[in-house]
């Protein structure tokens, strides 16, 4: 798997390179600023890009904007965005692109190597992943229709918003696949959302409803 990294902190950048290359990835480029990101992505067309949201020179959203521009030029280019804090606005900007292969992860998750690598692989494979903490904060907002959901349905909704498949949700909650399907159908009915087996569309539907 070929990877481009955009991270301005030298220690974290080196750590990401070591982790990825230790697990059969090849880091074809590692940049430390926003202006260098887009040309690097267009040149290398990696299997996945791991990109910090805030990069020099302004430390606002250079990484995010570079990733979005790259996906306009190369539709579906897989991008896993890293952020220091929960910033739902950035999640919305990234996920409004319906081409799939996107993720939003807090930097703290990098310390969990297995979790980080799972996110990289899922995004590279065209999947969608959201950090569980972002999902938790979204579901904690005062959105009246969510009050119609049962406790279990809220748990399932949170796992759906993370981009998990029905099978993964069943494993996480120690229930059967049929039970998960029943909960999901009930959730979509109560929220007025069309059912879908596509993980990315399900995440988009949930986020759109919650108005991230």
Give the separation between CA 183 and CA 99, rounded to whole angstroms: 27
Residue 162 backbone zone (phi > 0: left; psi -120 to 50: alpha; other: beta): alpha
Give the least confident one: 4-8, 47-51, 133-137, 196-200.
Answer: 196-200
Query: Phi, psi at residue 136, to the nearest 5°?
Result: -60, -45
200 CB-near residues (< 8 Å, 6+ apart): 98, 100, 102, 126, 127, 128, 163
Q: Is the dihedral of CA 76, 77, 80, 82 positive or negative?
A: negative
- pLDDT tens for residues 39-71? 999 999 999 999 999 999 999 889 989 999 999
What is the arithmetic mean of pLDDT over 160-174?
Answer: 87
Give the separation between CA 121 and CA 101, rounded to whole angstroms: 10
192: exposed, middle or buried (Cβ count in 10 Å: 0-12, 13-18, 19+):
exposed
Query: Phi, psi at residue 36, to the nearest 5°?
Result: -85, -15
Give the least confident one: 34-43, 92-101, 158-167, 199-208.
Answer: 199-208
Query: Phi, psi at residue 53, to the nearest 5°?
Result: -65, -50
- pLDDT tens for residues 133-154? 877 776 666 566 677 888 899 8
Strand order in the sheet with 79-83: 26-31, 2-6, 48-52, 79-83, 102-106, 128-130
Q: Where are the domains of the chain?
A: 2-130, 135-210
Q: Which fold has domain 2-130?
A: Rossmann fold (3.40.50)
At residue 98, the pLDDT reads 63
- pLDDT tens for residues 70-101? 998 998 899 999 998 877 677 677 766 667 78
- The CATH classification number of 135-210 equals 1.10.10.10
Neighbours of 2 (CB within 10 A): 15
Query: Percentage of residues in the chain with pLDDT exceeding 70?
Result: 83
At residue 74, the pLDDT reads 93
pLDDT at 200 over 80: no
Residue by residue, DSSP assigns 49-92 as EEEESS-TTTTSSHHHHHHHHHHHHSTT--EEEEESS--HHHHH
CB neighbour burial string for 145-183, b if at least 16 within 10 angstroms, e if fewer: ebeebeeebebbbbbbbbbbbbeebbeeeeeeeebbeeb
């Amino acid at each position: 798997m070929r990877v481009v990294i955009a991270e301005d902190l030298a220690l974290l950048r080196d750590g990401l390179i070591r982790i990825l290359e230790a697990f059969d990835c090849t880091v074809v480029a590692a940049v430390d600023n926003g202006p260098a990101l887009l040309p690097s992505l267009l040149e290398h067309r990696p299997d996945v890009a791991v990109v910090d949201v805030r990069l020099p020179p302004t430390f606002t959203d250079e990484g995010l904007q570079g990733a979005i521009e790259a996906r306009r030029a190369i539709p579906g280019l897989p991008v896993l965005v890293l952020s220091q804090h929960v910033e739902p606005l950035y999640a919305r900007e990234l996920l409004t692109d319906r081409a799939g292969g996107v993720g939003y992860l807090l930097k703290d998750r990098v310390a969990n190597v297995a979790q980080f690598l799972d996110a990289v692989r899922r995004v590279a494979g065209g999947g969608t992943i959201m950090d569980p903490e972002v999902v938790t904060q979204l579901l904690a907002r005062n959105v009246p229709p969510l009050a119609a959901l049962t406790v279990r349905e809220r748990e399932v909704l949170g796992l759906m918003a993370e981009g998990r498949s029905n099978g993964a949700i069943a494993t996480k909650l120690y229930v059967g696949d049929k039970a998960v399907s029943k909960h999901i159908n009930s959730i979509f009915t109560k929220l007025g959302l069309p059912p879908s087996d596509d993980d990315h569309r399900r995440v988009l539907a949930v986020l759109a409803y919650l108005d991230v």
